[in-house]
Structures are given as structure tokens and as C-alpha cells.
């Protein structure tokens, strides 16, 4: 079986692959600007049917209570994705513009393997906790804490790491006993549709438990937040859209998980290997054209060595050329769309108006007539009050900012509406760890440590969102707590 062969993609609703009522829309290769094909275009009626199917599957079947079935089905999904990993790899490179090297980790193989963690967690989870006997109000009572599924989950996901984010929601939500309606970004519909096809054709996941609804109409996804039949929204995307999701969900007081934007700081202390740290910061900012919410896009360095840091960052970034994502050596591929490329360019133009200069980059690469590419860019000469230092650009852009010691570096790093991630580099591990402990962020890399892992919770402080994804904490986002008190 070839994924999405011949006819493009369909919606998955109530266990069946069906056409979209609004016809189809195109999906584009961001590296070539060529139309890859079409995706099913859902309308409000399709979303209504998907929500109803998920509601019925939760209310009228034993899915939420049959832990053994859920564990088996999530492992089935992992295994069938592994079997089709090469087809998924080529699809992901073409539709997302993801560099091939990243599909061996967070763009594809990592999130597939991480489904095993969700299944293992459900299998070993203490679903019931005995609180023992007590006599509140003089009545002898045996108390039990029960954990159970929230219900119907509406999952709304972005385009930058579609498999990572889609599967980081599907895995724990399903393993915990929920049913799901997945609304992926219109820029990457095939990545989600392929997963839906494999679920329908190669797993025992019952009809209605997973529904995949692709659409180029963002209002179709907004219906999930408004609909009273949906018990929870799990959203990853921009802070502005997350705010709208929260407002829509407030009408029914449903649970909302948000993983939003970031403007993370890479803090270099005055005892660190400055050239090495600046080079690592620059390399990180170029990966997948900087299209990652947790990318460290502010390089905060000692003022006395500012020019040296700018030069080191520019030497690395200037050597990384935007390239064909099918090439195994490509680090920086295209941006996802012309709209996003123009948005990034508008920030580069703003940097000049704010008084900044480019140590390298600053626009479209001269050697690429097609594709949504932007040169890796280092911005110098601005403080943390500049808009390009405060707003999420989502491109291969690094702003270098001077600090005057550890306290000032912490102040600058925390002086942001966001609090998603951060990095600290310093020769003294204890000193670096002390600075890391003061950062108001959800994840911190100290001297190159890696926080990305299935068992490590991921999420942010402040306007970077609420709740956690991945790890046991991410699994528990999809659970309710019930106390059962039995008179004895």
C-alpha cells in the first residue's frame, strides 16, 4: 500500500476514509513551490460528524475502561508507523521542508518511538489509589482516588513539527482512554492524513476513537473549542491563537492545554568558551530554518566580548547555506510558505529600522530563485527592548544582546513575555546551574544537556502556555481525578 496513493488524502471520520464536503485544497512543497497534490477540505458539517463520532465512541464503548485494548492499539500504531517510516520520511521532507537529517529524530522517528512510552505508562499506571479508611463526620468510610479519561479531546496542531506534535497528543490521549478529533495545520495536511489512513487500515483502534479533519479553513478548527461535546482542547501554536482558543473554550469551561510561542535566551557566562557557545547558538538557530518554538533566538553574551561573540556566531551562521531538504547534509531548509518567508523578512527590515545591523544574512539567498528560503541571519547592535528581541520571528534569525554579569543576564533572559526554554553555558558547572535555576522557563539546557525525551515533560511559563506535554505529566494532562467514598 502506498500512502495517499492516486487520490490524495481523505478525512478519517468514524473509522472511514471520506472526502471533504468543501472539496480539496492543495499542499505545496516549500523548497520548490510545486503543488504536491490535494488534501480533503472539511467544512463545519464534517467537523460536526467527527465530534459526534468521538463523543459516541467515548460514551457508548468500553474504550475508556479497557486499558489492555488501548495499550495494544497504541503499540500497533507505533509499529505500523515504523513499517511505513520511509514513505512517511519522503512525505515529511516534501510537505514540511524538513531537512532529511531531522527525520531521524524529532521530525519523525523520535515521535513514532515515543508512542511506546505512552503505552507503557498506561500499562503500569496506578489508576486507583486506596486512601484507606477514615471517619469524616463520624461516618466510617473507605476512600479511593480514581484517575480516568477526560473524554473527547480536540487536538489542534501546527505545521513545523507535525509528527512530533500530532503523536505527542494522540499517544497519551488515547492511552489514557480519551477519544480524539485531530485538526492539523492546513500547511501540512498530508502528514496527519497519512497517520489517519494507517489507523483506519492497519490498527484495531475502534471507529470514532480517532478522527482526522483537514481543512484550509481555520474556523473549522475553532469549532472544537466552542463545542460542548468536546471536553478538552490540546493546542500547540502561536500565543495569539492560543489566546483565541482559550476565549472560545471558556464558554463551556473545558480543559485547555496550551503549548505556545517562545523567545528563548542562550546565556553565555564570562568564564565560558565564548566562541564554542556562540557557534552552538548559531547552529541551533539555523536548524529547520529556525522554525521551532523552543529555539534559543537571543544570544546573551558578556558585554566586554560582544564583538567577538557576534563574529563567532556570524562565522557559523554565514557558513550554513539554505539548502535542499532532501540532501542529507542540509541543516537549514525552507520556511513553510511564502507568507511565513515574507513575515520573517518584515522582521529583518524592522531590525534595520530599529538601528540593528546584520553580521551575516538579512534576506533571501541570491542563489535560490524558487523556494521559501531566508539566509541565516545574525542581528547585532540592539538591546532586549527591540521588537526583534522580544517577538517570535520563527525563522533562522539570531539576535545578539550584551549583558553585564550573571544577575543582568538572568534579568535579560527573564525579561520576555515568554518562558519556554533556555540555555546556559559556563565553565563552572555549579555557577551555570545556579543561573539556570533562576530562569523562568520550562526547559533549560546547561552546557549542552538535552531535555528532549519521551519521559521528560515539555511546556512553558508565562505566555508560552500552560500544562505539559510528554512524560508522565503529559499523560496526566488527559486524566480527570475522581474520589469514591464508600460507607463501611
Alpha-carbon distances, residue 158 vs 77, 162, 288 (angstroms): 21, 6, 14
262 CB-contact burial (10 Å; exposed 0-12 / middle 13-18 / buried 19+): buried
Letter string b/e over residues 197-233, b meaning 16 or more CB atoms within 10 A of that residue's CB: bbbbebbebbbbbbbbbbbbbeebbbbbbbbebbbbb
Helix residue ranges, H only, 415-470:
429-437
Half-sphere exposure of 171 (CA within 13 A, CB side): 33
Distances in Å between the Cα of 246 and the Cα atoms of 252, 260, 413, 466 are 10, 12, 27, 11
How many other CB atoms sit within 10 Å of the CB of residue 83?
Answer: 12
| Active-site pick, 95, 109, 259, 375 | 259
Quick check: is 109 catalytic?
Answer: no
Q: Which three cell numbers stand for residue 333?
A: 531548509
d(CA 389, CA 215): 33
- Reported in sequence order, the residue ranges of 54-111 that DSSP labels E, i.e. its strands, are none
The CA-based dihedral angle spanning residues 466, 112, 452, 169, taken in that order and rounded to the nearest 10 degrees: 0
- The backbone torsions φ and ψ at residue 89, rounded to the nearest 5 degrees and listed phi first, read -60, -50
Strand pairing report for 479-487 and 141-149: antiparallel
124 contacts: CB under 8 Å, gap ≥ 6: none
Sheet holding 232-236, edge to edge: 16-18, 11-13, 210-212, 179-183, 152-156, 232-236, 255-259, 465-466
| Grid coordinates given for 321 | 547555506
Rg (CA), the chain: 23
Active site residues: 259
Amino acid at each position: 500500500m502506498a500512502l495517499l496513493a492516486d487520490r490524495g488524502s481523505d478525512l478519517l471520520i468514524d473509522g472511514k476514509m471520506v472526502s471533504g464536503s468543501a472539496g480539496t485544497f492543495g499542499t505545496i512543497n516549500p523548497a520548490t513551490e510545486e503543488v504536491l497534490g490535494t488534501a480533503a477540505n472539511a467544512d463545519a458539517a464534517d467537523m460536526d460528524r467527527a465530534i459526534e463520532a468521538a463523543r459516541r465512541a467515548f460514551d457508548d464503548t468500553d474504550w475508556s475502561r479497557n486499558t489492555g485494548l488501548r495499550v495494544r492499539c497504541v503499540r500497533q500504531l507505533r509499529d505500523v508507523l515504523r513499517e511505513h517510516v520511509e514513505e512517511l520520511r519522503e512525505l515529511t521532507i516534501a510537505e514540511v521542508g524538513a531537512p532529511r537529517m531531522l527525520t531521524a529524530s524529532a521530525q519523525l522517528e523520535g515521535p513514532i518511538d515515543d508512542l511506546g512510552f505512552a503505552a507503557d505508562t498506561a500499562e503500569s499506571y496506578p489508576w486507583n489509589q486506596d486512601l484507606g479508611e477514615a471517619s469524616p463526620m463520624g461516618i466510617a468510610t473507605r476512600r479511593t482516588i480514581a484517575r480516568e479519561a477526560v473524554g473527547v479531546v480536540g487536538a489542534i496542531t501546527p505545521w513545523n513539527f507535525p509528527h512530533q506534535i500530532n503523536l505527542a497528543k494522540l499517544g497519551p490521549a488515547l492511552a489514557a482512554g480519551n477519544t480524539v478529533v485531530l485538526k492539523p495545520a492546513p500547511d501540512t495536511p498530508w502528514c496527519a492524513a497519512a497517520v489517519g489512513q494507517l489507523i483506519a487500515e492497519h490498527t484495531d483502534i475502534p471507529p470514532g476513537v480517532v478522527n482526522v479533519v483537514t481543512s484550509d479553513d481555520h474556523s473549522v478548527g475553532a469549532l472544537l473549542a466552542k463545542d460542548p461535546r468536546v471536553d478538552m482542547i490540546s493546542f500547540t501554536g502561536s500565543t495569539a491563537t492560543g489566546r483565541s482558543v482559550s476565549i472560545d473554550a471558556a464558554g463551556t469551561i473545558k480543559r485547555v492545554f496550551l503549548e505556545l510561542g517562545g523567545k528563548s535566551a542562550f546565556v553565555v557566562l564570562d568564564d565560558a568558551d565564548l566562541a564554542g557557545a556562540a557557534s552552538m547558538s548559531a547552529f541551533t538557530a539555523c536548524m529547520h530554518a529556525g522554525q521551532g518554538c523552543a529555539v534559543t533566538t537571543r544570544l546573551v553574551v558578556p558585554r566586554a566580548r560582544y564583538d567577538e561573540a557576534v563574529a563567532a556566531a556570524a562565522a557559523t551562521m554565514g557558513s550554513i547555506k539554505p539548502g535542499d531538504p532532501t540532501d542529507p547534509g542540509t541543516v537549514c531548509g525552507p520556511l513553510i510558505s511564502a507568507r511565513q518567508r515574507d513575515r520573517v523578512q518584515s522582521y529583518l527590515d524592522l531590525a534595520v529600522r530599529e538601528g540593528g545591523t546584520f553580521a551575516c544574512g538579512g534576506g533571501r539567498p541570491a542563489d535560490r530563485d524558487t523556494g521559501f528560503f531566508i539566509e541565516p541571519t545574525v542581528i547585532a547592535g540592539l538591546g532586549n527592548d527591540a521588537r526583534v528581541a522580544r517577538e517570535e520571528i520563527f525563522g533562522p534569525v539570531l539576535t545578539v544582546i550584551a549583558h553585564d554579569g550573571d544577575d543582568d543576564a538572568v534579568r535579560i533572559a527573564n525579561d520576555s513575555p515568554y518562558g519556554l526554554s533556555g540555555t546556559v553555558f559556563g565553565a563552572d558547572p555549579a555557577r551555570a546551574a545556579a543561573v539556570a535555576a533562576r530562569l523562568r522557563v520550562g526547559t533549560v539546557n546547561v552546557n549542552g544537556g538535552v531535555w528532549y525525551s519521551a519521559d521528560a515533560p515539555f511546556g512553558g511559563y508565562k505566555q508560552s502556555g500552560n500544562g505539559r506535554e510528554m512524560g508522565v505529566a503529559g499523560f496526566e494532562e488527559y486524566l480527570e481525578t475522581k474520589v469514591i467514598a464508600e460507607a463501611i
